[in-house]
């Protein structure tokens, strides 16, 4: 940055809102992780317009910048690796509105999660995401990281509670995104993008009324396996606790040494908390009590009053504290595996720990397969730090090998960038990079985060279990490749329930051949199905075995339902999908785990894309153990692409080959009207 840059920034902000002293820069050079990078200036804007002006100036002067909330990030995501400007949003801390009639809160990004909770409590409401840092972390940071927390087992992570966003885009313009927008779902792309695609300056959040009753059960188990089996049994019994937490023996011993919480000295301890109406909670608690006993729990305690429940939670809440007192630093890893693989994950973590000579305390959000090994160390001891970090990486690798992910809620930041190669193919990593480039061509918004640089090291390091495509899907891939080679426009056709007919000159890609159930994981309540499967027949088959989709009764193929986003609530249950890209490459997006923040949220981006970004080959859903009657909704409307959707299209399908009529004027804003095929007839 030049002196002129500093002067311009200073001029665009109120007096005292630009910091440049050495000490002032040092305190913005870190977050909760170990990475360091010193900014050249720190901006403390006090209004959305000041944020916009700062970003616009950075864009104009080509200055890299990082938006920052409370700086509690555990993956180094808010560290300014390239210097430039840190834009602190701490002063944008107003709760703009709370509307209990529509169950919505409107907040600025610097609002601390706890402050929002306190405000909502006054009217008997709450905001579901509750990351452990909720006392200090900000809503803006929670959105950037797609934060979770114990409660997200039942209520979902941050993205499930964001209704709309206003963001300053990297070009300095303001843009609003909503979950109801037609077309590829950009709001989902923004949530969890770690500040690489823009700066959120306002958020519309879903709030919930507080439940009438809450009960907590604490149970000690003779083995982690027994505890995990019990967790699966609880969920199979139709109980969805609002929190389902586990601690291993090392954690319990560490906590007890610090503050006697009176936890049983067993191999694993489960904390299960139910909420809802008085009757449902009583019923669910009875079921849970029976199940934990059946699975060999040695000690079971029950609490209903708030202070008694708090006592049961004391050990869980004190776990991080206990580790933080053992040594100056704690590495908190954040791996996710399919729930039933937890025992194996624990076994492998123990092997890895023994190999590196470390002793992690394991904390699990057991209900969603999210493991947090807490490893205490002193960062001033370089040799120890090296071992701890190596162990952390090995643990993540093991999680990926078990079909899981690198991060459930902490994000990728700087610390896990290289590890992304284990989880994502070269093609998917390129998609991430290209999307970043499409939104931020010069690469100024939080650069060098989330995914590895191109080229550096062995690009293809995939260790995630391979899933072969079905013969039908392979056939379709070959077709796409052939048409793409001929630069021939293609039309994705399912059962023809939303449109029929194929425009002239277009090649037809019929998906109904892909109609197999690839993986029905009854223990994990997930299913992977090919896109040509008819929704109604799948529904019948699932119901016959006691599994349910919580959607309205929608007709047509699954692919069609997703591509047209026939119901906006779909986004809650889609965990992953495979997309045949317009050049014939296959992108494996998301996974089988219910919490996953490793990379941009592409599965949700594809929702509503109407086949313009690729052909959905198969999809992985979350299943439910009870049905919910959701009224049918109106027919989805095709979309007219906005500027950012056009840029997304450019990344996925630069030749505008798939369902090209959605972009009748071509992709470049300046290109003349192309002669694209007309829109097909509605069914």
Partner 1 sequence: MSLQLSRLLTDLGEKSSYDAASQCCRCGYCEAACPTYVVTGDETCSARGRNQLVRSLIEHKLYEPASAHDALHTCLLCGACTAACYARVATADIVLEGRRMLDAKTHWLAHLLSRLMAEHRGWLAFMLKAVNVAKRLGLTTLARPILRVIGLPGLALAEEHVQEAPLTFLYEVLRRRPWAAQPHWLYFAPCGPNFLYPRVGKATVAVLEALRGGGNFLDNDCCGLLAYNYGDVDDARVLARRNIARFEAAGGTGPLVGDCSSCVAFLKSYPQLFLSEPDWKMRAERFAAVVRDVPEVLSDASLPEADLPTTTYHDSCRACHGQGLKEGAHTAIRRLAGASYRELPESDMCCGGAGAYAFRNPGISDDLIKRKVGRIAATGARLVATSGTSCLIQLAQGLKKYYPECEVLHLSELAARAVASGRAVQGAKDGTQAGA
| 127 near partner 1 (CB under 8 A) | no
Give the separation between CA 312 and CA 309, rounded to whole angstroms.
5
Task: Report DSSP state, residue 575.
Answer: E
Residue 341 Cβ, how far from partner 1 at the closest point, in Å? Answer: 29
Going residue by residue from 319 to 358, which x/- string records binding to partner 1, judged by CB under 8 A? -xxx-xx--xxx----------------------------
Written as six digits, the tokens of 335 are 């791996």
Among the residue ranges 15-23, 494-502, 533-541, 573-581, the one whose residues contact partner 1 (CB under 8 A): 15-23
Give the separation between CA 155 and CA 211, rounded to whole angstroms.
12
CB atoms within 10 A of CB 231: 29
Half-sphere exposure of residue 572: CA atoms within 13 angstroms, side-chain side: 17
CB atoms within 10 A of CB 460: 9
| 27 near partner 1 (CB under 8 A) | yes
Written as six digits, the tokens of 265 are 């000295």
Q: In this chain, which of 83, 110, 184, 489 binds partner 1, going by CB under 8 A?
A: 110
Among the residue ranges 19-27, 190-198, 244-252, 407-415, the one whose residues contact partner 1 (CB under 8 A): 19-27
Tokens 């909704």 sit on residue: 633
| 189 near partner 1 (CB under 8 A) | no
| 602 near partner 1 (CB under 8 A) | no
DSSP-derived 3-state class of residue 267: coil
Which residue, 42 or 292, has its beta carbon nearer to partner 1?
42
DSSP-derived 3-state class of residue 203: strand
| 30 near partner 1 (CB under 8 A) | yes
Which residue, 91 or 539, has its beta carbon nearer to partner 1?
91
| 85 near partner 1 (CB under 8 A) | no
CB atoms within 10 A of CB 364: 29
Q: In this chain, which of 22, 383, 460, 629 binds partner 1, going by CB under 8 A?
A: 22
| 307 near partner 1 (CB under 8 A) | no
CA distances from 30 to 330, 407, 597 (A): 15, 20, 21
- Give 266's strand partners: none
| 257 near partner 1 (CB under 8 A) | no
Going residue by residue from 360 to 399, which x/- string records binding to partner 1, judged by CB under 8 A? ------------------xxx-------------------
How far, in whole angstroms, is CA 272 from its chain's centroid?
23
Which residue, 143 or 575, has its beta carbon nearer to partner 1?
143
CA distances from 395 to 145, 323, 330, 491 (A): 21, 18, 15, 43
* Angle separating helix axes 382-401 and 342-356, nearest 10 degrees: 150
| 90 near partner 1 (CB under 8 A) | yes
| 35 near partner 1 (CB under 8 A) | no
What is the residue-wise DSSP string for 308-377? Answer: HHHHHHHHHHHHHHHHHHHSSEEEE--EE--GGGHHHHHHHHHHHHHHHT--PEEEEEGGGTEEEEEEEE
Q: In this chain, which of 5, 13, 32, 439 binds partner 1, going by CB under 8 A?
A: 32
Q: In this chain, which of 13, 44, 450, 575 binds partner 1, going by CB under 8 A?
A: 44
Give the separation between CA 114 and CA 127, rounded to whole angstroms.
9
Which residue, 103 or 327, has its beta carbon nearer to partner 1?
327
Residue 326 Cβ, how far from partner 1 at the closest point, in Å? Answer: 9
Residue 311 Cβ, how far from partner 1 at the closest point, in Å? Answer: 17
Residues near partner 1 (CB under 8 A): 19, 21-24, 26-28, 30-32, 42, 44, 70-72, 88, 90-91, 93, 110, 112, 114, 133, 135-136, 320-322, 324-325, 328-330, 378-380
């Amino acid at each position: 940055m030049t002196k002129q840059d500093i002067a311009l920034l200073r001029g665009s902000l109120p007096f005292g809102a630009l910091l440049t002293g050495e000490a002032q820069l040092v305190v913005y050079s870190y977050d909760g992780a170990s990475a360091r990078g010193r900014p050249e200036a720190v901006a403390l804007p006090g209004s959305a317009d000041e944020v916009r002006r700062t970003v616009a100036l950075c864009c104009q002067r080509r200055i890299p910048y990082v938006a920052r909330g409370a700086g509690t990030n555990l993956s180094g995501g808010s560290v300014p690796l390239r210097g430039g400007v840190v834009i602190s949003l701490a002063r944008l801390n107003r709760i703009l509105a709370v509307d209990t009639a529509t169950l919505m809160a409107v907040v600025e990004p610097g609002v601390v999660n706890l402050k929002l909770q306190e405000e909502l409590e006054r009217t008997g409401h709450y905001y579901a995401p509750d990351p452990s840092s909720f006392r200090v972390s900000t809503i803006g940071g929670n959105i950037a990281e797609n934060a979770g927390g114990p409660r997200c087992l039942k209520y979902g992570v941050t993205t499930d509670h964001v209704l709309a966003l206003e963001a300053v885009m990297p070009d300095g313009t303001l843009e609003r995104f909503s979950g109801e927008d037609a077309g590829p779902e950009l709001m989902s792309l923004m949530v969890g993008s770690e500040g690489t695609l823009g700066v959120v300056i306002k958020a519309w959040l879903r709030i919930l009324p507080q439940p009438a009753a809450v009960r907590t059960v604490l149970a000690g188990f003779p083995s982690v396996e027994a505890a995990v089996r019990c967790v699966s049994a609880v969920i199979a019994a139709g109980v969805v606790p609002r929190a389902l937490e586990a601690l291993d023996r090392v954690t319990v011993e560490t906590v007890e040494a610090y503050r006697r919480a009176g936890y049983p000295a067993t191999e694993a301890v489960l904390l299960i908390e139910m909420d809802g109406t008085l009757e449902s909670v009583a019923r669910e608690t009875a079921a849970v009590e029976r199940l934990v006993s059946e699975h060999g729990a040695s000690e079971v305690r029950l609490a209903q009053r708030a202070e008694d429940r708090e006592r049961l939670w004391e050990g869980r809440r004190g776990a991080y504290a206990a580790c933080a007192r053992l040594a100056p630093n704690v590495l908190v890893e954040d791996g996710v595996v399919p729930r039933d693989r937890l025992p194996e994950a624990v076994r492998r973590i123990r092997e890895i720990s023994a190999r590196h000579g470390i002793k992690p305390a394991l904390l699990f959000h057991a209900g969603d397969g999210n493991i947090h090994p807490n490893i205490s160390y002193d960062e001033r001891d370089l040799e120890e730090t090296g071992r701890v970090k190596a162990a952390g990486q090995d643990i993540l690798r093991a999680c990926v090998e078990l079909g899981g992910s690198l991060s459930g809620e902490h994000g990728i930041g700087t610390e896990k960038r290289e590890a992304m190669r284990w989880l994502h193919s070269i093609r998917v990593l390129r998609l991430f990079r290209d999307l970043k480039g499409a939104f931020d061509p010069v690469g100024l918004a939080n650069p060098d985060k989330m995914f590895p640089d191109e080229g550096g090291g062995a690009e293809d390091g995939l260790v995630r279990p391979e899933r072969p495509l079905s013969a039908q899907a392979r056939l379709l891939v070959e077709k796409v490749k052939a048409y793409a080679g001929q630069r021939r426009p293609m039309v994705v056709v399912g059962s023809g329930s939303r449109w029929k007919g194929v425009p002239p000159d277009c090649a037809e890609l019929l998906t109904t051949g892909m109609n197999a159930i690839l993986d029905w994981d009854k223990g994990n309540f997930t299913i992977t199905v090919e896109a040509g499967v008819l929704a109604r027949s799948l529904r019948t088959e699932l119901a016959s075995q006691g599994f349910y989709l919580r959607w309205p009764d929608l007709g047509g193929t699954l692919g069609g339902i997703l591509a047209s986003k026939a119901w906006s609530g779909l986004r809650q249950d889609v965990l992953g999908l495979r997309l045949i890209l317009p050049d014939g490459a296959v992108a494996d997006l998301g996974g089988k785990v219910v919490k996953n923040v490793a990379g941009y949220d592409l599965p949700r981006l594809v929702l509503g894309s109407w086949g313009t970004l690729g052909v959905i080959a198969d999809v992985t859903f979350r299943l439910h153990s009870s049905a919910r009657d959701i009224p049918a909704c109106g027919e989805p409307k095709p979309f007219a692409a906005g500027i950012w959707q056009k840029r997304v299209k450019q990344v996925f399908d630069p030749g505008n080959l798939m369902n090209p009529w959605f972009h009748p004027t071509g992709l470049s804003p300046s290109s003349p009207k192309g002669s694209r095929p007309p829109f097909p007839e509605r069914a």
